[in-house]
Structure 1
Amino acid sequence: MRTQARVVVIGGGAMGVSLLYHLAKRGWSDVMLVEKTELTAGSTWHAAGLCTHFAHNATIMEMRAHSIRMYREGLTAETGLPTGFHASGALRVTRSEERMNEFRHVQGIGDFVGHEFRILTPQQLKEIYPLVELDGIIGAIYEPNDGHVDPTLATNAMATAARNLGAEIVRHNPVLSFGKNAAGEWLVETAKGTIVAEHVVNAAGTWCREIGQMMGLDLPVVPMLHQYVVTAEVPEIVARIRAGEPELPIIRDPEESWYLRQERDGYIVGPYEKTAHPWAVDGIPPAFGMELMPPDLDSIEHIIAMAMERVPALANAGIKTVVNGPITFTPDANPMVGPAFGVPNGWLLTGSSMGVMEGGGAGAFLADWIVDAAPPRDALAIDGRRFGNFADRDYRIDKAVECFGLQFGIHFPYEEREAGRPRRATPAYDQQQAEGAVFGAAYGWERPNWFAKDDAAPDLTFRRPGWFETVAAECRNVRDNVGCVDLSAFSKFEVSGPGAAEFMASLGSNRPPARDGRIGLIHALTSRGGVASEFTVTRLAEDRYYLTSAAFAERHDEDLLRSRAGAGVTIENLTEKRGILGVMGPKSRDLLQALTDADLWNVAFPWLAAQQITVAFVPVLALRVSYVGELGWELHADLDRFGDLYRAVSEAGKSFGLAPFGIYAVNAMRLEKGYRGWGADLTTERTPLESGLEALVRTEGRSFIGREAMLERAASEKSWRMALFSVEEDGVSLPFYNHTVWQGDQAVGVVTSGAYGFRTGKPLVLAYLTPKATAAPMHIRVIDRDLAITELKAAPYDPENLKPRGIEAAVQQIKKVG
């Protein structure tokens, strides 16, 4: 066994072996994998091997597609070994119109990234799958390039390919502990000796929590028991085989929560029961390796009965065996791929409930990330740092049970799932509830999405939602009067110390504010020039800066700041110590002036300035900024005083027409200004210049990570561009995200965010256009409606920024006093 390696991968399932192979393929041959028992132990060996392109996120769709490409042809061509891949295709059937809308939306994602999905009528479904009963079915989606693979054959083929490229695999070699030497390298103590490594990857699957604890991590992963039944021969399938008919596609009924695939001359049927079964939550039994649990047919019998009604041939088969084993679930059912929070050169490749389906692509994704020091595509949906300390034991169990039961749930836009909540709340939570707040969860924080006028919860939909008019009223009140919004979920950091100014000057593509009490916007980049993070930066002193960023970026941004800060720089996470109240609208100054002695007029308190003031006897750092495009302030207060501040502003606001508003109104109003949002419009895939942020890029005489890559892409023919569009009004649709932009029958762009601009009366979207786009007319397909879009050369609302600058209010005041 080697005693030194560039990367040590812990875990020999499909994901870990895939990473080893892809690292070696990238030229990092000095890599090794250690496995506690045998390759595929844990969950890989007993997986059903389903492989699909179907996903609600483009990164995950491409990850799954990469796996299929490998299993179907790549590995066999490289090694001569079989993977057992069957190119059967796959179907999903439905009786629900909203499910059909979901199918159409996924088809739209596939249109842009290049993967085929076909929407079928019931008659077309019957032609492809003659054994299905059509009772109640209104349609289906067909995935012609899907299939299934033999998990053991595929994993061993990847292992052989990795060894052929110089990688080493050591089986029966459990990890005992981790340490660090004086040079900061990992010391991986195993049963067969200690390995010195630059990088360590937790790909331990079923055992990932145990390995995580050794690394100093508390991973929010739960093993869940999943059963599937392997049948004896089915006469109808035997007859098809004798007649030379092709293998039947995999078929899924999401409403009834089962999948069915042909297995030689029989079937495998896999139910996902609503009452899920967590297993070994507090630790995997030490002797566990390649064992199964006893069958529990009583818990899935009713689902199998429904599958028999849909495919009657299933009822003609006897049971050959029942497979009941653990698979891992995260709180959102997506894998954890990327850096381990707070652990330099520690990585995660685990938590996938679809480890074989995603393993090939996930290994390739992380290999690129490690080698290039930047993710190859947007990683937000899979980055393990999307969970924080709020994801404790109860939370991870509640969410895993929820995800298992909703394995086939419809993924609606604006959906908020309730399990495990609330976790983090401000002292204003009870008052907001009394005001009718309908909360969403943002990195564990309860944050009002909108304020309902009654107790009836609107149905989830892919069309225009039931809260449409309520949010419209919130936006109009902010335009005409004043509103308050709870922004406490934002991530908040203080950067200080003798090296703070130099650090901030090198943080990103814009310079930091040059004077105390001024505010700026800085985008930190990846090595490839993409937007890694967006920070609102307030200079408090030459050696002290206050930064805010997106709620979902808390751990991501803390890692980024700490990894880039040098000597003489202190980073403090203030997220749970401060609350933020936004007070926005033309009457915001009048309202706040009634609560403070500070002079809030333009000369004393200009736009993009910050001051320490007292509002209603609460000390606040007041930032004169407005993401909604109105005159306004953000009031940053100690969290334990936030309830006092909220109550005082709410009470005083009655005289000024104040009403609370939520994040949905914020999203609508920021699009009317063309403001980009991190995680949606701003991602690692596109540079600030491609994103239309030229005014916030300063390269002259400056050095920062990603600078050259950004400029090189801008000068190339591969550069994309972002634009703001108005959308044809049809009275039914509300654009949201991932709609393909078309010119004729050519896909030339993708929508990153959308909303209705209630102050301007226009549906609006931000979209990236590829180099293929021309000046020809464009349209987007929102589910099944083609809507024309028109590029806007300026923001449709207050393009000269008179409102946030206070110029409009100042003119009115001058006229008032003569």
Structure 2
Amino acid sequence: MRQHARVVVIGGGAMGVSLLYHLAKRGWSDIVLVEKHELTAGSTWHAAGLCTHFAHNATIMEMRAHSVRLYREILTAETGLPTGFHASGALRITRSPDRMDEFRHVQGLGRFVGHDFHILSPGELKEIYPLCLTEGIIGAIYEPNDGHVDPTLATNAMAAGARSRGAEIVRHNAVLAIERKASGEWLVRTAQGDITAEHVVNAAGTWCREIGAMMGLDLPVVPMLHQYVVTDTVSEIADRIAAGAKELPIIRDPEESWYLRQERDGYIVGPYERAAQPWAVDGVPPQFGMELLPPDLDRVEHIIALAMERVPALANAGIKTVVNGPITFTPDANPLVGPAFGLANAWLLTGSSMGVMEGGGAGSFLADWIVDGAPPRDALAIDPRRFGNYADRDYRLDKAVEGFGLQFGIHYPNEEREAGRPRRTTPALEMQKSQDAVLGAAYGWERPNWFAVDGADAPLTFRRPGWFDAVRGECLAVRGGVGAIDLSAFSKFEVGGAGASAFMASLGANRPPARQGRIGLVHALTLKGGVASEFTVTRLNDDWFYLTSAALAERHDEDLLRSRAAAFADVTIENVTERRGVLGIMGPRARDLLETVSEADLSNSAFPWLSAQIMRVAGIKTAALRVSYAGELGWELHVQLAQFGKLYDAITRAGRRFDLRPFGIYALNAMRLEKGYRAWGADLTTERTPIEAGLGALVKADGRAFVGREALLERIGKGSWTMALLDIDDDGERLPFYAHAVMQAGRPVGIVTSGAHGFRTGKTLALAYLRPGISPEGLTVSILGKELVARELREAAYDPGNLRLRGVHAAEPVAFTPA
């Protein structure tokens, strides 16, 4: 075994071996994989091997599609070894109208990404799957390029491909410890000796928490027991084989929570029970390797019975084998693929409940990220830093059980799942509940999404939601008077020290504010010129800056700030997210309200737009920032979190004379789209530059070095995408949200990144990226199977001159009348 390597991959399952293979394909041959047992030990060897393109996120869809291409074509062509891939196709059936909407949404996303999904009638379903009864079924989605693979054959083929390019694999070599050397390199101590490496990757799957602990990490992963049954011969399948019929497609019933696939002349049936069973939550038994747990069919027989009713041929089969083994779940059931928080050159490739399905593509994704220094596509859905320190043992356990039970759950827009909550709260939470706040969770923080009116309810839907009128009232109240919103979930950082000014000047595409008390917007870029992060930067003095960013970006942005500040002397980074509460006061009467609780001069001349001051509000020391994501006159009030309840109460009491209305994140989202404001993680991602995002005015590239500058300049005009603000016809039923295909002359030319109805303007709006060279003429947006005409707006739909933000527009109270 080599003693020095560029990369050490820990774990020989499908994901770890895929990474090794793809790193070798990128030309990194000085790499080694260590496995404590045999390759595929843990969960790969007993996986059912299902492969699908179906996903609700473009990155995950393409990751799964890469796995299919790899297993179906590439590996055998390169290595001459079989993978056992069966191009059977796959079906998902439903009796739910909401599920049909979900199918149409995934079909639209697939259309843009380049993968065909076909919506079937019950009759068409019967033609493709004659053994299935269609009573009660209203439709299905057919994935013709799906299939299944032999996990062991595929993993061994990837291993052979890696070895042929110089990579080393060492089996029966347990990792004993992981240390950081003074040089910054990693020292991985194994049973067969020590390896010094530049990069270390935790791809340990079932054992990822144990390896994570050696790295100093507490990973939010839980092994869950999943059972499937392999049957004896099914006479109906044997007859089909004898007649030369094509292999039956995989079939899934998401409502009843089972999948069924042909296995030679029999079946594999896999149920996902709602009452899920976690296993080895606090540590995998040391002796565990390629064992299975005893069968426990009592837990799942009711689900198997449902599958028999739908496919009666299954009821005539005997049981050959019951497989009961662990698969790993994260709190959102997506894998952990990317940097380990707080550790340089440490990576995670684990936590996938579908490691074979996602492994081929996940290994390729991470290999590109390691080699290129930036992810190949938007990574937010899989980046390990999407969870914070709130994801403790109870949280990860509650969420894993929930996620397993909802493995086939409908992925509604704006869905809020309840397990594991609450985790992070402000002192104003009980007051907000008394105001009928309907709460959501953002990076563990409880925050109001909207406020119910007269007991209004809002069941989850893909169509116009039940909160529509309530949010309309919130938006019109902000337009006509004043509203208050809890923005405490923002990520918040203080940057100080003698080197802070030089560091901040290098942080992003825009210069930081030059004068004390001024505010600017700075986009940090990736090495490829894409948007890595977005910071609102307030200069408090020459050597002290206050930064806020998206709630979901807390760990991501802390990593970015600390890693880039390391090149500068005397710079301190402090994460103050949990020490600050933020209350937004927005609307043309915001100044009038604040003047009743503060003695500060809030006039335009004394406190202009995009400036900040330290003042007292209701006797509380406050950093007041005159910014407004709602596009109205407004301030953000940043206070010590312990004082936030007192501030919220004081503003609520003082606001009564101004008809102050609390508003939530849904209203804010609608109002920011009326202004054409981009949102990090939705409209701003690593895939597109700020210029492509329409933020060229915030790029100052002359005479100043910053990460991604050269790549940004090189990409200008070379196959550039463009972002458009679209005004979409309103059919009274559908609303845009994300991942809808933008069409032109019958072909997909773009993708919606965010959308909402603009209540102040009466327009249905969406931000969308258009492919290079596309003219914004003759566009439609495909929403749940219907194409709606879309027109590009050349300026913001609301107050394009920013007169209201600048505070030169008088209040115009508007009475709220339900639509």
2:43 counterpart residue number: 43
Query: Match for 1:579 among 578, 581, 595?
Result: 581
Aligned pairs for 1:437-516 (under 5 A) are: 437-516=437-516
State the SS of the aligned residue for 1:708: helix
- Alpha-carbon separation, structure 1, partners of 2:445 and 2:222: 22
How far is 1:455 from its partner? 4.0
The equivalent of 2:696 in structure 1 is 694
Would the aligned equivalents of 2:481 and 2:812 in 1 still touch at CA under 8 Å? no
- Of residues 709, 717, 722 in structure 2, which corresponds to 1:707? 709
CA distance, structure 2, for counterparts of residue 183 and residue 400 of structure 1: 38
Counterpart residue identity of residue 343, structure 1: L
Residue aligning to 2:748: 747
- Which residue of the partner structure matches residue 70 of structure 1? 70
User: Does the 8 Å CA contact 1:748/1:772 hold for their aligned counterparts?
Assistant: no
1:321-470 to 2 correspondence within 5 Å?
Answer: 321-470=321-470
What's the C-alpha RMSD, in Å, of the aligned pairs? 1.0
Is the 2:590–2:634 Cα contact (8 Å) retained in structure 1? yes
2:775 aligned counterpart, secondary structure: coil
Q: Which residue identity does 1:408 align to in structure 2?
A: F
User: Is residue 481–residue 811 contact of structure 2 (8 Å, CA) maintained in 1?
Assistant: no
Matched AA of 1:405: G
Alignment-derived partner of residue 622 in structure 1:
624
Give the partner amino acid of 2:120. Answer: L
Q: Is the aligned partner of 1:167 residue 2:167?
A: yes
Instruction: Provide the secondary structure at the position in 1 that maps to 2:523.
Output: strand
Partners of 1:508 and 1:126 in 2: CA distance = 56
SS in 1 for 2:552: helix
C-alpha displacement of 1:746: 1.2
Distance 1:556 1:775, change over 3 A: closer
CA distance in 1, matches of 2:172, 2:789: 61
Other structure's SS at 2:655 match: helix
| Structure 1 residue 811: Cα displacement | 13
- Give the match for residue 767 of structure 1: 768
Alignment partners' CA distance in 2, 1:435 and 1:613: 28
Cα distance in 2, alignment partners of residues 79 and 207 from structure 1: 29
- Residue 713 of structure 1, CA deviation: 1.1
Aligned mates of 2:525, 2:231 — CA distance in 1: 53
C-alpha distance in 2, partners of 1:563/1:775? 40
Q: Judge conservation of contact 1:436–1:454 (CA < 8 Å) in 2.
A: no
CA distance in 1, matches of 2:80, 2:750: 39
**Aligned residue-pair number:** 811
**1:186-197 maps to which residues of 2 (within 5 A)?**
186-197=186-197
Residue 80, structure 1, aligned to residue 80, structure 2: yes
Contact 2:19 2:362 in 1 (8 A): yes
Residues 1:802 and 2:803 are matched in the alignment? yes
Amino acid at match of 1:571: I
8 Å Cα contact 1:133-1:311 kept in structure 2: yes
**Residues 527 and 705, structure 1, Cα contact 8 Å, conserved in 2:** yes
Displacement of 1:182 after TM fit?
2.1
CA contact (8 A) 2:776 2:791 kept: no
Q: By how many angstroms is 1:810 displaced?
A: 10
TM-score by length of 2: 0.98
Give the corresponding residue for 1:236. Answer: 236
CA distance in 1, matches of 2:511, 2:777: 38
Matched-pair identity in %? 74
Give a deviation string over 1:361-381, Cα, whole Å, max 9, x none. 000000000000000000000
AA in 2 matched with 1:604: A
Amino acid at match of 1:792: L
**Secondary structure of 2:805's match?**
helix
Query: In the alignment, is residue 205 of structure 1 matched against residue 205 of structure 2?
Result: yes
| Partners of 1:775 and 1:609 in 2: CA distance | 36
User: Displacement, 1:181?
Assistant: 1.8
1:589 to 576, 588, 591: 591
Q: Per-residue CA shift, 1:681-700, capped at 9, x if unaligned?
A: 00000000000001111011
- How many angstroms apart in 2 are the aligned matches of 1:784 and 1:378? 25
Higher mean C-alpha displacement, 631-640 vs 774-783 = 774-783
| Aligned partner of residue 520 in structure 1, secondary structure | strand
Q: Does the aligned pair in 2 maintain the 1:209–1:218 contact within 8 Å? A: yes
2:733 is aligned to 732
- 2:521 matched to which residue of 1? 521
Change (3 A) 1:456 1:792: closer
Correspondence for 1:116 = 116
- Which residue does 1:685 correspond to in 2? 687
- Once the 2 structures are TM-superposed, how far is the Cα of residue 774 of structure 1 from its aligned partner? 2.4
Give the letter aligned to residue 782 of structure 1. I
Contact 1:757 1:764 in 2 (8 A): yes
Report the equivalent of 1:666.
668
Are residues 1:782 and 2:783 paired?
Answer: yes
Whole-angstrom distance in 1 between the partners of 2:532 and 2:162: 31
How far did residue 457 of structure 1 move?
3.1
Which amino acid in 1 is paired with 2:552?
F
Supply the distance in 2 between the matched residues of 1:648 and 1:146 (Cα, whole angstroms): 58
**d(CA) in 2 for partners of 1:494, 1:353:** 38
User: 1:610-652 CA deviation, whole Å, 9 max, x = no partner?
Assistant: 0000000110000000000000000000000000000000000
Is the CA contact (8 Å cut-off) linking 2:781 and 2:789 kept in structure 1? yes
Contact 2:725–2:766, Cα closer than 8 Å, also in 1 = yes
Quick one: distance in 1 between partners of 2:657 and 2:574?
A: 39
Checking the alignment, whether the CA contact within 8 Å between 2:777 and 2:791 is kept in structure 1 is no
Tell me the distance in 1 between the aligned counterparts of 2:611 and 2:117: 51
Q: Quote the Cα distance in structure 1 between the aligned partners of 2:445 and 2:125.
A: 44
Maintained 8 Å contact 1:336/1:384: yes
Q: How far, CA to CA, are the matches of 1:810 and 1:219 in structure 2?
A: 50
Q: Aligned letter for 1:329?
A: F
Secondary structure of residue in 1 paired with 2:588:
coil
Q: How far apart are the structure 2 equivalents of 1:542 and 1:194?
A: 48
Secondary structure at 1:692 match in 2: coil
1:532 aligns with 2:532: yes
Letter in 1 for 2:130: P
Q: Any idea what the Cα deviations from partners look like across 1:719-777, whole Å, max 9, x if unmatched?
A: 00001011101111111010100001111100000000000000000000001422531
SS at match of 1:485: strand
Distance 1:529 1:504 in 2: 18
CA deviations on 1:376-412 (whole Å, 9 max, x unpaired) are 0000000000000100000000000000000000000
C-alpha contact (below 8 Å) 2:742/2:749 kept by paired residues: yes
* 3-state SS in 1 of match to 2:809: helix
Q: Deviations over 1:1-28 (max 9, x none)?
A: 0000000000000000000000000000
Aligned to 1:816: none
**Counterpart for residue 816 of structure 2:** none
How far apart, CA to CA, are the structure 2 residues paired with 1:476 and 1:457? 20
Change (3 A) 1:204 1:406: same
Partner residue of 2:156? Answer: 156
Given that 1:497 and 1:570 are in contact with CA atoms closer than 8 Å, whether structure 2 keeps it comes out as yes
